[in-house]
Every structure is written in C-alpha cells, then in structure tokens.
C-alpha cells in the first residue's frame, strides 16, 4: 500500500478528526450491496449512502478495486470455521463444500472473483485444509495443489454459472430465447437433447454441486494412486 492511505486502521495523531472511517465505508458498502445488489455499488452511490462526497472515499481507499478487495477480506474474516472431521477424505470434501457455500451465499462476490485474487488472507486456512487433507489422502504436495486448483475451478464455475442463471431469471426476456432454442431442435441431429427438451429446465435447476464435487474428489484420488482413500462418501446421489 502507498500514498496517505493507512494500511491498517491506525489512529490519526493530530490534524483534523476523521468524519468517516474505513470500517464505516466497508459496512455501508456491504449494506448497499446486500440491499440493492452489487450493480448499485458505485463510488457515488456509496458516498451518498454515507452522506459524504465521492472524493472523501478516495482518501480512505485507493480506488474501487481496492474497495472490492477489502470487502472480500472483510467478509472472509467474518466467517467462522466449521468443526471438521478427522478422516482426510471427508475433511477434504467438507472443507471444499464450505468454501463453496460461503462464497455462494453472497453472490456479489462473483464480481470480485473475476476481478481480484481468489484468496483473501483471512481465508487461507481453507486452502491449507484442502492441501493437508489431500496430502493425508496420499497425494504428493504437487498433486495436492493440482487437486485444490481443480476443486477451485469447479466451485467457482458453479457459483458463476448459477449467479448468471439467477440474474437471467430476474429479467423476463431470456427464457424466451432459451425456449426458442429448444423448440427448434433438430431431432435428427440432436436426438439426446430433443428427448430431454421437457425435462431440461427441471434437471438443470437442481443443485448437484455436492454430487459433482464428490465425483471430482473421487477421480482426483483414484487418478493419483490414492485409491484406498477414494471410497465413495455417503453424499452420493444422482
């Protein structure tokens, strides 16, 4: 960090007393996002919500990107770790689920994930847990990093795709396009899709995150020769 901007919330010594603080800005930003949606988080609207000018915010925060990063970190540190099982395969699965669920609960995070780094400092314990579990399952450290990355791709993809489909459902003209697509299906060239036309919406609206994650974890362990630890968990359900 550079400039006058304090990296921590150091007490100001001397000078004019601050009217707004970083914490106040973050709290207001979070409230704004949760009540109005992430699209309404603009420097101008945030300033209005606090009752100050847009430029006052720039004294406490470098720019909008840093604001988003701080927001992510703030959220991550407010989350409290769950009790985790000892069995490594189970712990791997549960931690990955937790990582996903925590992010999925605040869809505004999606905007940040694509723009910023995936990991806030206060969320590193999640990565640590996944790596440790994987290594205890018999993977080498390199394989564990690879496994973590695959899981992250899967989880991030699920969140992003679901967020997109939710926002699509909010508008009213998209279903039209999708229906159009499916009614014009060429049953000769696309027989499988044609046979599934009626059930597609139903099938794709189900939550299959856990089941797919289970498959991924199983495959990762099997493929890396940790077959002993790869036995199917109880969550298995098509």
From the list 41-49, 75-83, 87-95, 222-230, the region that binds DNA by CB under 7 A is: 41-49
Residue 26 interacts with DNA (CB under 7 A): yes or no? no
Answer with the entry of DNA, a copy of itself, none that 43 interacts with (C-beta below 5 to 8 A by kind): DNA
E strands, the chain, are none
Enumerate residues 142-181 that contact a copy of itself by CB under 8 A. Answer: 142-146, 149-150, 152-158, 160-161, 163-164, 168, 174, 177-178, 181
CB 91 within 8 A of CB 43: no
Q: Which of 18, 39, 81, 115 binds a copy of itself (CB under 8 A)?
A: 115
Angle at 234 between CA 228 and CA 238, to 5 degrees: 110
Q: Which is nearer to DNA, 61 or 96 (CB)?
A: 61
Question: What is the distance between the alpha carbons of residues 42 and 40, in angstroms, rounded to a whole number?
Answer: 6
Q: How many residues does the chain have?
A: 238
Signed CA dihedral, 73, 82, 31, 127: sign only: positive
H/E/C letters for each residue in 124-177? Answer: HHHHHHHHHHHHHCCCCHHHHHHHHHHHHHHHHHHHHHHHHHHHHHHCCCHHHH
Q: Which of 71, 217, 226, 229 binds a copy of itself (CB under 8 A)?
A: 217
Residue 91 interacts with a copy of itself (CB under 8 A): yes or no? no
Eight-class DSSP state of 21: -
Answer with the entry of a copy of itself, DNA, none that 141 interacts with (C-beta below 5 to 8 A by kind): a copy of itself
Residue 65 interacts with DNA (CB under 7 A): yes or no? yes
- Number of Cβ atoms within 10 Å of the Cβ of 99: 21
Residue 191 interacts with a copy of itself (CB under 8 A): yes or no? yes
From the list 59-67, 79-87, 153-161, 191-199, the region that binds DNA by CB under 7 A is: 59-67
Binding mask 9-48 for a copy of itself (x = CB under 8 A): ----------------------------------------
């Amino acid at each position: 960090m550079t400039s006058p901007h304090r990296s921590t919330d150091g007490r100001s010594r001397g000078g004019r007393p601050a009217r707004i603080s970083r914490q106040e800005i973050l709290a207001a930003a979070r409230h704004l996002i949760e009540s109005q949606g992430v699209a309404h988080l603009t420097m101008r609207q945030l300033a209005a919500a606090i009752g100050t000018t847009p430029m006052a915010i720039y004294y406490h925060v470098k720019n909008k990107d840093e604001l988003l990063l701080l927001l992510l970190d703030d959220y991550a540190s407010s989350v409290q770790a769950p009790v985790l099982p000892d069995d490594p395969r189970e712990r791997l699965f549960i931690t990955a689920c937790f990582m996903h669920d925590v992010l999925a609960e605040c869809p505004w995070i999606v905007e940040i994930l694509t723009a910023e780094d995936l990991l806030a400092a206060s969320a590193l314990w999640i990565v640590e847990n996944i790596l440790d579990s994987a290594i205890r399952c018999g993977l080498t450290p390199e394989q564990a990093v690879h496994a973590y990355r695959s899981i992250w791709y899967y989880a991030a993809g699920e969140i992003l795709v679901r967020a997109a489909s939710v926002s699509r459902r909010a508008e009213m003209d998209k279903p039209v396009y999708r229906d159009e697509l499916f009614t014009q299906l060429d049953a000769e060239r696309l027989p499988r899709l044609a046979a599934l036309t009626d059930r597609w919406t139903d099938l794709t609206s189900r939550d299959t995150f856990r089941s797919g994650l289970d498959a991924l974890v199983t495959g990762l362990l099997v493929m890396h020769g940790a077959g002993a630890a790869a036995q199917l968990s109880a969550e298995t359900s098509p």
